[in-house]
């Protein structure tokens, strides 16, 4: 991709809500370790 501008940008942070995790680092560790981060919603998917 060719950039038409010489202006520089900086991405200085990230935020979000991550399942079963208090922060991005914990979420990443959960993913790396193969932890299941989802549950079935009984209201939509009766088990």
Q: What is the CA radius of gyration of the chain?
A: 18
User: Looking at the whole model, is its pTM more than 0.85?
Assistant: no
Q: Is 18 exposed, middle or buried (0-12, 13-18, 19+ CB in 10 A)?
A: middle
pLDDT digits (tens, 9 = 90+) for 1-47: 676 878 888 888 878 899 999 998 999 999 999 999 988 777 876 66
Residue 47: predicted pLDDT: 63
All residues at 6 or more sequence positions from 31 whose CB lies less than 8 Å from its CB, including other chains: 37
Residue 42: predicted pLDDT: 78
Residue 34: predicted pLDDT: 96
């Amino acid at each position: 991709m060719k950039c038409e501008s010489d202006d520089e940008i900086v991405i200085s942070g990230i935020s979000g809500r991550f399942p079963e995790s208090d922060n991005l680092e914990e979420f990443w560790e959960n993913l790396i370790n193969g932890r299941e981060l989802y549950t079935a919603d009984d209201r939509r998917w009766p088990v």
